[in-house]
């Protein structure tokens, strides 16, 4: 089954698309995606392949996750998301554990954003969530981003507690991918939970938090309110 899956991916290679993706996902020396290799397979194709191979075994999924090709890792994560939705609690735990043991391969923002809240966030619903704090303290920007984006699951259930807690841990992070993730989740707290909760956070930090984070968090505000928050004085 795994060879057939890989063949479907290689049959859909687009070299020009690969070149564009290499630039878009910052794969150059010293950039956040340094060394990542793209085949150039488009997202709808990957989604269809993931659905087709939902019964792929965990050992094969593990192999895909370790692939040097970005699209193979993306398909592996998409399969895990599909499996998780249909799984019982025992298999969900297995998927969750597999995910956290392989975070070093979940190493670009699209890989994190398409999977973390659907697996980590969903699994932690009703359980101890201290793992999110542990991830937020990691030296890995990807584990930090997993911690922040995982809270989107709870935000979608109109609960902002975990998002605010992780946002406070990451509020002074220097990497723009973390700043953007925090700002995005704060914006979603205001949109889906309570704008007062978001603004309470902003009133505490807006003068000192990174500008990128702040800009992302206030995108939905009125022009007047955006000007207020962007003015440090």
For 161, the enclosing helix (H) or strand (E) is: helix 161-170
Query: Residue 187: how many CB atoms within 10 A of its CB?
Result: 20
Report the Cα 43 to chain-centroid distance in Å.
Answer: 16
**Residues carrying CATH 1.25.10.90, the chain:** 1-106, 115-233
Per-residue pLDDT of the chain (233 residues; tens, 9 = 90+): 999 999 999 999 999 999 999 999 999 999 999 999 999 999 999 999 999 999 999 999 999 999 999 999 999 999 999 999 999 999 999 999 999 999 999 999 999 999 999 999 999 999 999 999 999 999 999 999 999 999 999 999 999 999 999 999 999 999 999 999 999 999 999 999 999 999 999 999 999 999 999 999 999 999 999 999 998 65
* 134/138 Cα distance (integer angstroms): 7
Q: What are phi and psi of 188, to 5 degrees?
A: -70, -35
Query: Residue 83: how many CB atoms within 10 A of its CB?
Result: 21
* 97/216 Cα distance (integer angstroms): 31
Report the CATH fold assignment for 1-106. Answer: 1.25.10
List of E strands, the chain? none
CA distances from 63 to 22, 43, 60, 113 (A): 22, 20, 5, 21
* pLDDT value for 231: 86
Query: How many CA atoms lie less than 13 Å away from 152 in the CB half-sphere?
Result: 20
Report the CATH fold assignment for 115-233. Answer: 1.25.10
Residue carrying structure tokens 């698309």: 17
């Amino acid at each position: 089954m795994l060879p057939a899956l890989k063949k479907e991916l290689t049959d859909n290679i687009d070299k020009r698309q690969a070149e564009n993706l290499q630039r878009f996902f910052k794969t150059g020396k010293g950039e956040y995606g340094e060394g990542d290799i793209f085949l150039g397979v488009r997202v709808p194709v990957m989604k269809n392949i993931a659905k087709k191979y939902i019964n792929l075994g965990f050992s094969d999924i593990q192999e895909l996750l370790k692939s040097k090709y970005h699209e193979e890792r993306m398909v592996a994560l998409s399969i895990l998301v599909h499996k998780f939705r249909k799984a019982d609690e025992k298999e969900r735990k297995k998927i969750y554990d597999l995910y956290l043991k392989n975070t070093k391969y979940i190493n670009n923002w699209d890989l994190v954003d398409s999977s973390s809240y659907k697996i980590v966030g969903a699994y932690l619903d009703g359980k101890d969530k201290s793992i999110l704090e542990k991830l937020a303290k990691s030296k890995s920007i990807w584990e930090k981003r997993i911690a922040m984006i995982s809270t989107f699951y709870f935000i979608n259930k109109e609960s902002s507690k975990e998002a605010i807690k992780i946002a406070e841990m990451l509020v002074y992070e220097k990497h723009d991918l973390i700043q953007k993730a925090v700002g995005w989740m704060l914006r979603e707290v205001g949109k889906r939970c309570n704008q007062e909760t978001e603004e309470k956070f902003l009133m505490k930090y807006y003068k000192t938090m990174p500008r990128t984070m702040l800009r992302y968090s206030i995108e939905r505000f009125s022009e007047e309110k955006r000007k207020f928050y962007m003015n440090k004085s």
